[in-house]
């Protein structure tokens, strides 16, 4: 069977998308591979496909729990039953059971902190690993936009597991970050499949305003000028919520908000309503989107500035996964820079937080932290999850040093990181003001040349938002209306033959 | 007051009457598993609200309390900084409670540990059946919890009859139960369901459709689930399908104890004295006392006579009636008997129950 036959049989596709085949062929030749494929180009197929040829377990490390679950659900939807997700939310009993039968799974999703547990590593060592996949591999680099300290351990894990065939996947990595990924994962001369980060079916538009009210007015106008699905990104939960409410109150239908502060069940409902087309527009924070596999998002609007170029590409990449014409619109108002600057500042712990936390950690010893103490310390010094892991990671790393020196080192690292983050943001601010082609400018950031001039490119190349919105493909919004009475609705769900029931309930 | 949640907090402050800090309210609404919280809900007659808002945050509560304070609905007690309801607060609260009473079926104390699991299973089972009978075998499960998904799979493997038949039975049983509930509760429940071609609505979406308050919708929905669970307990035979969804959920017993209290109960049953248990378990006497008080609240059959003479019990009972307060110190002053301990007073109060 050739690759295309397997593609059709297992996945129901006739052709590969750019980059996929190259990655798969490289892996099947037994070569470690670093692949950069744009968001929405079918990255997960690159490791799912080889599983059916290698006939061994595929281990996938993924940074976000929700992302992991989404991908596992999608696999199961396709009829693949042999999937397990190992994360800290499983009960002890389930975890034990899963670990015992680990070799019976074709796809094993793991969060990075699971790979710090000796019991799990021991079990994995006994397993025949066909492929070791690092999803969102840029998280390993502190120059990446989403650095995660628990990713740093993955290089070691790879050695301990006897260097299994490895695939590092990312959508957004500059040259520096790519090099860093190879170093940290100890990949020796891997095959590199770097497709362009350019998504040619997405037009880039920036619009400037002189006040918040104007921006809001424009947003309302925009959402009424097309009928397809859209995501509007905000940098705070509160803004996402209040703008969604504002638009609802002004007659915009099928719109709602989504953010990380909502309960899990309510979030799931919103996400699935959007997937089904029951909701047309989502006002969201960046928590929304990862793993949301909706092909026909036509428009992504940024009401606030993103946290840099990589984050921006990641977010607008959720538009037009079906390859049809789509658009990314950034609404910018003078002074908008303040918010993201403030947010990146907040990601890292302050000097005060570092000093106090380090002192407390030193007192009890970094390896003796009970969950109760973690809760107390985090509450006392108002540390976010990320800040807490950041501090404990570096305290462990510099364990041998003098306590005071550790504190100083942490403060220095934090300062350097703060400056880097600011530089990244400033680079993005410059993109807003750029006078030439926006697409070329983005590509130059990733050291890529634009090979083919795009017809519908960006505002700088003469695209007009209104004209573009008019020619966007139309979409039927699905979703069944509720039945007239509660009993008819209940019958529609559980019995289905509406006719019989109407007789009964009338 | 801005919303139904403000009203709930105001009602709690009224009932607690300056005898606890607002964090006691947080613990109650979140359903904290501690002897103190379990005693509090009984002492103040707030068992219905226990654990009804498991995701409530400290900050949410603080914002509401601030808001109530600024609107003059509550005031601060000078001696301890705790809060009391003002007369304006009383009046407004009464209006709101008349308009939006708690569902009479609400019983957090009895059902808090079962509510979430029961609903997760039921909603996923309904979604699954709905898709299977419409010949769609692939869909995104609305419940992500691994245990819930495993449960539904096992349920369908064990119950091999025709899926349409299961759907029919679920329909019949749910209809029968919902008929007994007010119109609004039925609507909310059905809107929450995910089935073929329609994903369930969120609380806030339902609230907008019904022009109601999101928190109120949430409590009406809880009222429905608690009603269903109540029916399962009382007349499980009438609803075999709905009953099979929840019968194995832990926490089914009426008596829900913290782990440490269960251990103390074991020693008590083995005939050990309070002192002995304290020694064996290397715990302070006061901790063991907390456990025993928790037991007295949780189990109506729990006999307190081994901790005091009938005469002492009677003295305390009379004193608590005359003082009309739940404050231990006030009761202690009235009994004016140095033989009587706080522990004994707490035990008697536990037995006097909610109706005092």
Residues A290 and A416 in one domain: no
- The yes-or-no verdict on residue B170 having pLDDT over 90 is yes
Q: Is residue A154 part of a domain?
A: yes
What's residue B320's pLDDT?
81
Pairwise CB contact (< 8 Å): A492 & B189:
no
Pairwise CB contact (< 8 Å): A479 & B197:
yes
Chain A interface test: which of B146, B168, B177 (most A C-beta within 10 Å): B146
Q: A146, A161, A194: which is the final residue of a domain?
A: A194
B54–chain A nearest CA distance, Å? 10
The token pair at A242 is 């209040």
**How many CA atoms are closer than 13 Å to the CA of B215, on its beta-carbon side?**
17
What's residue A93's pLDDT?
77
**A-chain residues near B221 (CB < 8 A):** none
Split at pLDDT 50, 70, 90, the class of B306 is: confident
Residues A170 and A90 in one domain: yes
Closest CA to A129 of A103, A90, A152, A92: A103
Residue A241 near chain B (CB below 8 Å): no
Residue A83 structural domain:
3-194
- The yes-or-no verdict on residue A499 having pLDDT over 60 is no
Which chain A residue is nearest to residue B185, measuring alpha carbons? Answer: A486
**B-chain residues near A479 (CB < 8 A):** 197-199
The token pair at B113 is 């540990």
Pairwise CB contact (< 8 Å): A496 & B139:
no
- The yes-or-no verdict on residue A478 having pLDDT over 70 is no
Q: Determine what percent of chain B falls in helix, strand and coil, rounding each to the nearest 5.
A: 65, 0, 30
Residues A136 and A189 in one domain: yes
Q: Is residue A479 part of a domain?
A: no
Split at pLDDT 50, 70, 90, the class of B108 is: very high
Residue A252 near chain B (CB below 8 Å): no
DSSP string, B252-275: -SS----HHHHHHHHHHHTT--HH
Residue B55 near chain A (CB below 8 Å): yes
Q: Residues B21-44: what's their mean pLDDT?
A: 89
Chain B interface test: which of A70, A265, A375, A483 (most B C-beta within 10 Å): A265
The string of pLDDT tens digits covering residues A240-285 is 999 999 999 999 999 999 998 898 899 999 999 999 999 999 999 9
How far is it, in rounded angstroms, from Cα B191 to Cα B185?
Answer: 10
Helices B163-179/B183-192 angle, 10° precision: 150
* Among the partner residues A73, A85, A486, nearest to B140 by beta-carbon distance: A73
Split at pLDDT 50, 70, 90, the class of B256 is: low
Handedness of CA A295, A299, A305, A309 (dihedral sign): positive
**A-chain residues near B130 (CB < 8 A):** 493-494, 496
Which chain A residue is nearest to residue B165, measuring alpha carbons? Answer: A495
What's residue A426's pLDDT?
93
What's residue B251's pLDDT?
61
Residues A101 and A226 in one domain: no
Q: Is residue A328 part of a domain?
A: yes
Q: Among residues of chain A, what percentage have pLDDT more than 90?
A: 56
Q: Identify whether the C-beta of residue A326 lies closer than 8 Å to the C-beta of residue A297.
A: yes
Q: Is residue A503 part of a domain?
A: no
Residues A173 and A263 in one domain: no
How far is it, in rounded angstroms, from Cα A21 to Cα A27?
Answer: 10
Q: Is residue A488 part of a domain?
A: no
Q: Among residues of chain A, what percentage have pLDDT more than 70?
A: 97
The string of pLDDT tens digits covering residues A173-187 is 888 899 999 999 999
Residues A288 and A410 in one domain: no
* Ramachandran category for residue A57: left, alpha or beta (phi over 0 → left; psi -120 to 50 → alpha): beta
Could you give the domains of chain B? 4-99 (1.10.10.10), 108-246 (no CATH), 259-352 (1.10.10)
What's residue A442's pLDDT?
93
Residue B184 near chain A (CB below 8 Å): no
Residues A28 and A160 in one domain: yes
Range of lowest pLDDT (A21-30, A155-164, A442-451, B114-123): A442-451
Domain count, chain A: 3
| A301 beta partners | A232, A329
B265–chain A nearest CA distance, Å? 26
* Among the partner residues A269, A493, A495, nearest to B202 by beta-carbon distance: A269
Split at pLDDT 50, 70, 90, the class of B353 is: low
Closest CA to A168 of A139, A126, A143: A139
Pairwise CB contact (< 8 Å): A479 & B198:
yes
Q: What are phi and psi of A253, to 5 degrees?
A: -95, 160
Pairwise CB contact (< 8 Å): A494 & B200:
no
* Among the partner residues B140, B175, B199, nearest to A278 by beta-carbon distance: B199
In order of A278, A358, A477, A496, B198, the CA distances from A481 in angstroms are 9, 57, 12, 14, 8
How far is it, in rounded angstroms, from Cα B332 to Cα B340?
Answer: 8
DSSP string, A330-392: EEEETTTTHHHHHHHHHHSPPHHHHHHHHHHHHHH-GGG--HHHHHHHHHHTT--HHHHHHHH
Residues A22 and A115 in one domain: yes
What's residue B75's pLDDT?
95
Q: Identify whether the C-beta of residue A219 lies closer than 8 Å to the C-beta of residue A301.
A: yes
Q: Is residue A433 part of a domain?
A: no
Pairwise CB contact (< 8 Å): B146 & A90:
yes
Question: Quick count: other Cβ atoms within 10 Å of Cβ B41?
Answer: 23
What's residue B252's pLDDT?
44
Residue A462 belongs to domain with CATH number: 3.40.50.300
What's residue A458's pLDDT?
96
Residues contacting A300, CB < 8 A, separation 6+: A230, A231, A232, A233, A315, A316, A318, A319, A326, A327, A328, A329
Which chain B residue is nearest to residue A487, measuring alpha carbons? Answer: B175
Pairwise CB contact (< 8 Å): A486 & B140:
no
Pairwise CB contact (< 8 Å): A496 & B133:
yes
Q: Is residue A495 part of a domain?
A: no
* Among the partner residues B141, B143, B195, nearest to A493 by beta-carbon distance: B195
Q: A360, A395, A423: which is the final residue of a domain?
A: A423
Rg (CA), chain A: 24
Handedness of CA A144, A149, A150, A155 (dihedral sign): positive
Residues A458 and A383 in one domain: no
A171 DSSP 8-state letter: S
Rounded (5°) CA angle B205-A469-A329: 75
The string of pLDDT tens digits covering residues B2-28 is 889 999 999 999 999 998 999 999 999
Pairwise CB contact (< 8 Å): A496 & B134:
yes
Pairwise CB contact (< 8 Å): B191 & A482:
yes
Residues A283 and A300 in one domain: yes
Residues A237 and A303 in one domain: yes
- The yes-or-no verdict on residue A500 having pLDDT over 80 is no
Q: Is residue A359 part of a domain?
A: yes
Residues A39 and A172 in one domain: yes
Q: A170, A194, A218: which is the final residue of a domain?
A: A194
B132–chain A nearest CA distance, Å? 10
**A-chain residues near B120 (CB < 8 A):** 265
What is the value of ipTM here, to two decimals?
0.81
Residue B26 near chain A (CB below 8 Å): no
Split at pLDDT 50, 70, 90, the class of A503 is: very low
Q: Residues A436-465: what's their mean pLDDT?
A: 90
Residue B241 near chain A (CB below 8 Å): no
Which chain A residue is nearest to residue B55, measuring alpha carbons? Answer: A263
Split at pLDDT 50, 70, 90, the class of A436 is: very high
Residue B144 near chain A (CB below 8 Å): yes
Q: What number of C-beta contacts closer than 8 Å exist between A and B? A: 101
């Amino acid at each position: 069977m050739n690759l295309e036959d397997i593609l059709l049989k297992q996945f129901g596709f006739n052709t590969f998308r750019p980059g996929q085949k190259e990655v798969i062929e490289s892996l099947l030749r037994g070569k470690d591979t670093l692949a950069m494929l744009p968001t929405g180009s079918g990255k997960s197929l690159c490791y799912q496909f080889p599983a059916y040829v290698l006939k061994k377990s595929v281990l996938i490390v993924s940074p976000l729990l929700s992302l992991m679950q989404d991908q596992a659900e999608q696999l199961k939807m396709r009829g693949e039953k042999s999937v397990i997700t190992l994360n800290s939310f499983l009960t002890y009993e389930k975890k034990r059971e899963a670990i015992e039968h680990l070799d019976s799974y074709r796809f094993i999703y793991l969060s990075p902190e699971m790979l710090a547990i000796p019991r799990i590593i021991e079990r994995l060592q006994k397993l025949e690993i066909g492929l070791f996949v690092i999803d969102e591999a840029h998280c390993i680099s502190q120059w990446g936009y989403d650095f995660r300290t628990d990713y740093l351990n993955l290089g070691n894990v790879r050695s301990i597991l006897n260097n299994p065939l490895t695939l590092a996947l990312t959508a957004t990595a500059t040259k520096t970050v790519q090099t860093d990924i190879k170093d940290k994962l100890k990949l020796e001369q891997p095959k590199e499949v770097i497709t362009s980060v350019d998504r040619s079916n997405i037009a880039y538009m920036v619009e400037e305003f002189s006040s918040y009210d104007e921006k809001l007015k424009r947003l309302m106008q925009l959402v009424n000028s097309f009928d397809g699905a859209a995501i509007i990104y905000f940098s705070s939960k509160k803004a996402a919520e209040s703008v969604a409410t504002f638009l609802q109150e002004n007659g915009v239908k099928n719109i709602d908000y989504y953010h990380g502060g909502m309960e899990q069940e309510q979030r799931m409902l919103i996400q699935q309503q959007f997937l089904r087309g029951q909701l047309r527009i989502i006002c969201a924070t960046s928590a929304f989107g990862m793993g949301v596999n909706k092909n026909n998002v036509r428009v992504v609007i940024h009401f606030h500035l993103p946290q840099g170029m990589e984050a921006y590409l990641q977010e607008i990449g959720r538009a037009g996964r079906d390859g049809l014409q789509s658009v990314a619109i950034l609404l910018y108002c003078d002074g908008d820079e303040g918010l993201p600057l403030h947010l990146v500042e907040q990601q890292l712990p302050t000097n005060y937080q570092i000093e106090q936390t380090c002192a407390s950690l030193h007192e009890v010893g970094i390896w003796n932290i009970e969950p109760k103490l973690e809760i107390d310390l985090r509450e006392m010094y108002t540390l976010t999850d990320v800040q807490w892991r950041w501090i404990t990671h570096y305290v462990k790393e510099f364990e041998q040093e003098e306590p005071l020196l550790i504190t100083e080192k942490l403060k220095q690292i934090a300062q350097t990181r703060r400056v880097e983050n600011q530089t990244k943001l400033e680079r993005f601010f410059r993109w807003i003001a750029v006078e030439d082609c926006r697409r070329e400018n983005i590509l130059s950031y990733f050291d890529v040349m634009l090979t083919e001039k795009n017809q519908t490119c960006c505002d700088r190349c003469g695209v007009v938002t209104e004209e573009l919105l008019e020619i966007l493909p139309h979409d039927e919004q699905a979703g069944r209306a509720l039945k007239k009475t509660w009993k008819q609705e209940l019958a529609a769900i559980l019995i289905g033959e509406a006719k019989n029931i109407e007789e009964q309930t009338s | 007051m801005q919303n139904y949640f403000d009203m709930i907090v105001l009602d709690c402050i009224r009932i607690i009457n300056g005898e606890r800090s607002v964090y006691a309210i947080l613990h109650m609404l979140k359903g904290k598993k501690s002897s103190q919280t379990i005693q509090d809900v009984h002492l103040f007659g707030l068992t219905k609200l226990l654990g009804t808002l498991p995701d409530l945050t400290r900050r949410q509560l603080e914002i509401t309390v601030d808001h109530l304070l600024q609107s003059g609905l509550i005031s601060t007690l000078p001696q301890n900084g705790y809060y009391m309801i003002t007369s304006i607060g009383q009046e407004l609260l009464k209006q709101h409670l008349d308009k939006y009473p708690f569902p009479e079926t609400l019983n957090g104390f009895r059902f808090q540990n079962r509510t979430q699991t029961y609903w997760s299973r039921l909603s996923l089972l309904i979604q699954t059946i709905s898709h299977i009978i419409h010949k769609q075998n692939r869909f995104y499960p609305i419940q992500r919890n691994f245990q819930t998904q495993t449960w539904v799979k096992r349920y369908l493997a064990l119950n091999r009859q025709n899926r349409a038949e299961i759907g029919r039975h679920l329909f019949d049983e749910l209809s029968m139960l919902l008929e007994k509930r007010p119109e609004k509760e039925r609507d909310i429940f059905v809107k929450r369901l995910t089935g073929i071609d329609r994903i369930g609505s969120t609380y806030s979406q339902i609230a907008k459709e019904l022009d109601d308050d999101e928190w109120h919708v949430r409590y009406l929905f809880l009222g429905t689930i608690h009603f269903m669970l109540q029916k399962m307990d009382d007349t499980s035979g009438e609803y075999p399908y709905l009953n099979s969804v929840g019968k194995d959920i832990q926490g089914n017993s009426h008596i829900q104890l913290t782990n440490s209290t269960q251990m103390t109960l074991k020693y008590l049953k083995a005939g050990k004295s309070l002192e002995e248990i304290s020694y064996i378990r290397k715990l302070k006497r006061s901790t063991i006392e907390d456990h025993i008080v928790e037991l007295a609240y949780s189990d109506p059959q729990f006999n307190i006579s081994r901790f005091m003479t009938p005469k002492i019990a009677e003295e305390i009972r009379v004193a608590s009636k005359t003082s009309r307060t739940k404050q231990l110190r006030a009761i202690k002053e009235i009994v004016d008997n140095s033989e009587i301990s706080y522990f004994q007073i707490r035990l008697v109060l536990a037995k006097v129950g909610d109706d005092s």
